[in-house]
Amino acid sequence: MVSGRLKKLIPSSGGARNARRIGWLLAMCVMLLMALLPFSSYVAALPIIQSEWGISNTSAGVIFSAYLAGYALSALLVLPLTDRLPTRRVFLASALVTVVGNVLFPIAAFDPIVASALRFIAGIGLVGIYMPGLRIIAQEFPDSGRGTAMGLYVTAFYTANAVSLLATGGLMNHLDWRTAYLALSLVSIITIPLVLILVRSSHGPDSGTGGRLHLSVLSDPRPRKFIIGYSLHAMELYAVRVWLPALLAAALVYRGTDVERAAITAATVGGIALGVGSVGPVMGGAISDRFGRAASAGGIFILSGVCSLVIGWMIAAPWVLIVLLACVLGWAISADSSIYSTALTEIAPPGRLGSTMAVQAFLGFMGGTLGPVFIGGILDVFEGRLAWGIGFSGIAFLSAIAVWFLISGDD
């Protein structure tokens, strides 16, 4: 599926040049994957960290969400600057910041306050890698294959999440969680030279708008619909990313597995489930190229909502059924991710793409910060199997709201 879509990005004329474009796109995806290699190390070690620090589910959600809060707040400054400054500068500074935040976490984090601060710093850096990357890919692929090209970059984001879970879980079989986290953080330093090689000085702004944030982009109902959809998508996405491995661990503990072994196994299985979903964004982008952006996103939201509603009540179900449904959920929460950014590159007001993407990133990732905390709060209020059932039903409710917004107007 993916290879077939990539071939369609290379027209018969100018094949050599376009083959180089595909090579560059794949290298950009590798760069993003390296930057995000420690992204889910905290999630993989979460049951152990909770036991070690004695923190509640709500506090655990806050620590994770601090990363997204840093991303969201910095987006308001960093992304409008891409309307004025060379993208290379933004990329390089952001790569340095996120690497520092990731490396310091396993070294210096011994309580929720320091842990939240360091994840906040790492999130500040990510915004200048991910969203400007989508922007320059849109510039490189202005034709009908834009959804597929941007979807591939978003797919790298999801692949990184799965790889991070799998790698951290694998390393924790032999190392303590801090050493495993640090090892992946050190490997991610390779992001910096990759940025210098791949992001050219020619990747610059479309027009001179002074680098200011223009909130007026929200007055247009077309981008507003996709921005709201993206915010609800992020709430669902990060709630599942944090709590799906924990749900899997709870299912194993219910079967008699000890907490540490359950955490390691759940990280591995969760990584596989989310890894299945890593091809989702490029598939979703290709689907939206054919069937329209809003209709495709709405249909994918329906699938993810049904999966969330069901899996929360399956703690006592056969393990193989839980794993299979987790894989379907992993695909569904990822498949619509590239659709929103692709749509905004097509309908943003002239000269305001940076501001449009900034508002999208801010509202999206602020929504993302609420998702894990929202579910963590439910898990603290209720107990046992009931808590997981109600918690994941809450995720399904978010999906229903998103579908209403997406289908309430024309694409």
What proportion of the chain, given as a percentage, has pLDDT over 70?
Answer: 87
Residue 52 has pLDDT above 80, yes or no: yes
> Residue 346: which pLDDT band, with cuts at 50, 70 and 90?
confident
Query: pTM of the entire structure?
Result: 0.71
Q: State the average pLDDT over residues 90-110.
A: 92
Instruction: Assign 3-class secondary structure to 183-209.
Output: HHHHHHHHHHHHHHHHCCCCCCCCCCC
19 versus 124: the higher-pLDDT residue is 124
Model pLDDT, residue 214: 65
Do residues 397 and 264 make contact, with C-beta atoms less than 8 angstroms apart?
no
Identify the DSSP state of 86. -
Residue 263 has pLDDT above 90, yes or no: no
C-alpha distances in Å from residue 315, one per residue of 322, 323, 326, 337, 386:
8, 11, 12, 28, 10
**Two tokens, residue 201:** 């000085």
Residue 208 has pLDDT above 80, yes or no: no
pLDDT digits (tens, 9 = 90+) for 269-300: 888 887 777 778 878 888 888 888 889 999 99
> Residue 11: which pLDDT band, with cuts at 50, 70 and 90?
very low
Model pLDDT, residue 33: 93
Model pLDDT, residue 155: 80
Model pLDDT, residue 143: 64
The CATH number assigned to the domain with range 23-407 reads 1.20.1250.20
Of 70-84, 109-123, 220-234, 364-378, the one with minimum mean pLDDT is 70-84
pLDDT digits (tens, 9 = 90+) for 297-330: 999 999 999 999 999 999 999 999 999 999 999 9
178 versus 148: the higher-pLDDT residue is 178
What's the chain's average pLDDT? Answer: 84
Do residues 297 and 340 make contact, with C-beta atoms less than 8 angstroms apart?
yes
Task: Tell me whether residue 6 is exposed, middle or buried, using C-beta atoms within 10 angstroms of its C-beta: 0 to 12, 13 to 18, 19 or more.
Answer: middle
Model pLDDT, residue 141: 77
> Residue 256: which pLDDT band, with cuts at 50, 70 and 90?
confident
Alpha helices (H) along 9-111: 15-35, 41-44, 46-53, 57-81, 87-108
Q: Which residue type is seen at 106?
A: P
pLDDT digits (tens, 9 = 90+) for 154-169: 888 878 877 898 899 8
